[in-house]
Structure 1
Amino acid sequence: MFKRILVPVDGSDTSLHALQTAGRLARENGGQLRLVHVMDRTAYLTGYDPSGGGSGALYEALRGSGRQILADSLAAAQAAGATADTLMVDELGLRLGDAVARAAADWQADLIVVGTHGRSGPSRLLLGSGAEQVIRLAPVPVLVTRG
């Protein structure tokens, strides 16, 4: 049924839970996973250094962190017996939901599996909801797991 499963990963426990769920689905259905990490450019943009030197180092640190998150996620997927590959999205101004929707469409995904903290009230308003963005913008069905 679901052969091409896209999983946004950010290194959190909730994304690990989503990865485990997606891995089971892929194994049971003979499918494959695409693990997507969307770089958080807002952290890069908030690093202020008048000389510009520190911001370049911060950007490289963010890229390195993203590569490590993808490598760890790929290793976890493969250890669970799932076939997987990775994609890092590094585009200034692109929101998480838009990046995931585009990656799903480009790869012709059948399903997106995303984790959520299940926040409500003021914490949801202050922190936003990446899962909600994905749900609203996704071109395919979305399975939301709660870590």
Structure 2
Amino acid sequence: MYQQILVAVDDSETSAHALDAALQLARDAGAKLQPLFVVDVPMLVYDLPGSDLTHARDALLEQGASVIEDAVARMKLAGLQGTPRIAETDQAGNDIAHCILRAASEFKADLVVMGTHGRRGVRRLVLGSVAERFLRIAQCAVLMIPAHSAKPVTSDAQATEPIREPS
């Protein structure tokens, strides 16, 4: 059974589904949960003369703090323990997937839970897929929660209602 579960979170509905699943798994297994938000400032922007990324980075850190605050509140409602984390990509080419990998390794995660938008074709080629890149490099079990999974549970029902399994 899983003892350390990392869940990648952002402010998307898909991420909310992944957090729902991670909360239930952690509660059922008695595992510790680590919500992880990754701040990514694209490396190409660093190459622009006179570019000041301070405002963009600060906005992303603020967004991350809000997302993590929500995840912690939901963890408390579910009676779960764990330490949330905000990580940042760096100029050395560590993308979001590699940041998640590094965080999972440092947390000694048995399982990583993340949402996937399920994009196909040209949209996937253009936008890429963090979930797919992570799945290719993962060193532990990975649970992908599709964008079309059940609606996230809200309010007091969070700690008691089951999550519907994706079909």
Return the TM-score normalized by structure 2.
Answer: 0.78
Cα distance in structure 2, aligned partners of 1:55 and 1:90: 13
1:62 is aligned to 60
Q: CA deviation at 1:119?
A: 0.8
Mapped contact 2:88–2:99 kept (Cα < 8 A):
no
Range with greater deviation from structure 2 (119-128 or 35-44) = 35-44
Residue 71 of structure 2 is aligned with which of 56, 70, 73? 73
Summarize the Cα distance change of 1:55–1:99 in structure 2 as closer, same or farther, 3 Å threshold. closer
Range with greater deviation from structure 2 (91-100 or 136-145) = 91-100
Q: 3-state DSSP class of the match of 1:89?
A: strand
Mapped contact 2:39–2:57 kept (Cα < 8 A):
no
Higher helix fraction (1 or 2): 1
Task: Say yes or no: does 1:38 pair with 2:34.
Answer: no
Q: 3-state DSSP class of the match of 2:16?
A: helix
1:10 is aligned to 10
Report percent identity of matched pairs.
Answer: 36
Amino acid at match of 2:12: S
Cα distance in structure 2, aligned partners of 1:99 and 1:57: 21
Amino acid at match of 2:64: G
Return the TM-score normalized by structure 1.
Answer: 0.88
Q: Could you list the runs of 4 or more consecutive aligned residues of structure 1 that deviate by over 4 angstroms after TM superposition?
A: none
Give the length in aligned residue pairs. Answer: 145
2:134 is aligned to 134
Residues 57-112 of structure 1, C-alpha deviations (whole Å, 9 max, x = no match): 22212211111111112222322333232111123132111111111111111000
Cα distance in structure 1, aligned partners of 2:119 and 2:55: 33
Summarize the Cα distance change of 1:117–1:91 in structure 2 as closer, same or farther, 3 Å threshold. closer
Amino acid at match of 1:129: S
Cα distance in structure 1, aligned partners of 2:104 and 2:2: 13
Two-structure CA RMSD over aligned residues (Å): 2.1
